Amino acid sequence: MGLVCRVVEQAGIPTVCVSTGRDLTAQVKPPRSLFLNFPMGNNFGQPFNIRQQTAILTRALELIEEVEVGGLLEDWRQPWTEAVEYFTGRTGQST
């Protein structure tokens, strides 16, 4: 997805990537990223938490205007509510 952002940006359309994989994003280096130390698939937080989802999306859009140097990766400060574990694909596992 970082690669997609890079090509779209080069074509003249600003992009922001909302990521849960910090190392993956850091090495692909999309133009602007907001990293959340949340489980993959919870990029905008918890289900039905409208305030949290809106806050994350708002911050991502602010980066479009604020970032002047390509490759910036901002860390979202709020932690997830419990330990974030790598998903192995086993059914029934919760993170």
Partner 1 sequence: MKPISYVDELNKHYGSMGFPAYEWTLNETAPIIRPGKPISESRVTMLTSGGISHCTMPGFNPDARNDHRLDAVDPHVASSDFQINDSYYNHNDADQDINCVFPIDRLKEMAEAGVIGSIAPRFWSGFMGRIYNRTKLIEESVPAFIEKLREDAVDILVAVPA
- Under the binding rule (CB under 8 A), the answer on residue 76 touching partner 1 is no
Enumerate residues 21-60 that contact partner 1 by CB under 8 A.
21-25, 27-32, 35, 37, 39-48, 50, 53-54, 57-58, 60
DSSP 36-93: --S-TT-TT-STT-HHHHHHHHHHHHHHHHH--STTEEEEP-SPPSS--------TT-
| Residues of the shown chain interacting with partner 1 in the complex, contacts defined by CB under 8 A | 1-25, 27-32, 35, 37, 39-48, 50, 53-54, 57-58, 60-62, 64-65, 67-71, 79-80, 83-89, 93-95
